[in-house]
Amino acid sequence: MTRTLADVAREASTCTRCKLSGMGRTQVVFGVGSPVADLMFIGEAPGRNEDAQGEPFVGAAGQLLNTLLEGIGLARDDVYIANVLKSRPPGNRDPEPDEIEACTPWLVEQISLIQPRLIVTLGNFATRYLLQTTQGITRTRGQVYRWHDRWVIPTFHPAAILHGGGEKSRQFQEMREDFALVQRTMAGGSPPVVRPAPAADRPEPAVVRSTPAPAPGQTARSAPPLIIPEPAVEEQLGLF
Q: Tell the smallest beta-carbon distance from residue 137 to ligand URA (Å).
A: 13
Q: Which is nearer to ligand URA, 42 or 199 (CB)?
A: 42
Q: Which is nearer to ligand URA, 51 or 109 (CB)?
A: 51
Cα–Cα distance, 17 to 160 (Å, whole number): 29
Q: Which is nearer to ligand URA, 46 or 154 (CB)?
A: 46
- From the list 93, 96, 100, 99, the residue with the least C-alpha distance to 130 is 100
**CA 233, 114, 194: angle at the middle one, nearest 5?**
75
On the CB side of 238, how many CA atoms lie within 13 Å of its CA? 13
Q: Tell the smallest beta-carbon distance from residue 136 to ligand URA (Å).
A: 16
Q: Which is nearer to ligand URA, 86 or 148 (CB)?
A: 86
The answer to whether 85 touches 42, Cβ cutoff 8 Å, is: no
Alpha-helical runs (H) found in the chain: 5-12, 48-53, 60-71, 97-114, 123-131, 137-140, 158-163, 170-188, 231-236
Q: Tell the smallest beta-carbon distance from residue 168 to ligand URA (Å).
A: 21
Q: Tell the smallest beta-carbon distance from residue 53 to ligand URA (Å).
A: 10
Give residues in contact with ligand URA (CB under 6 A).
43-47, 50, 56-57, 61, 83, 159
Residues 6+ apart with CB under 8 A from 218: none
Cα–Cα distance, 200 to 197 (Å, whole number): 9
Which residue has its beta carbon closest to ligand URA? 43
Q: Tell the smallest beta-carbon distance from residue 15 to ligand URA (Å).
A: 16
Cα–Cα distance, 193 to 88 (Å, whole number): 35
Q: Tell the smallest beta-carbon distance from residue 156 to ligand URA (Å).
A: 11
Q: Which is nearer to ligand URA, 50 or 109 (CB)?
A: 50
Q: Which is nearer to ligand URA, 103 or 226 (CB)?
A: 103
DSSP type of residue 145: E
What is the rounded (10 degree) CA torsion for 204, 206, 210, 213?
Answer: 0
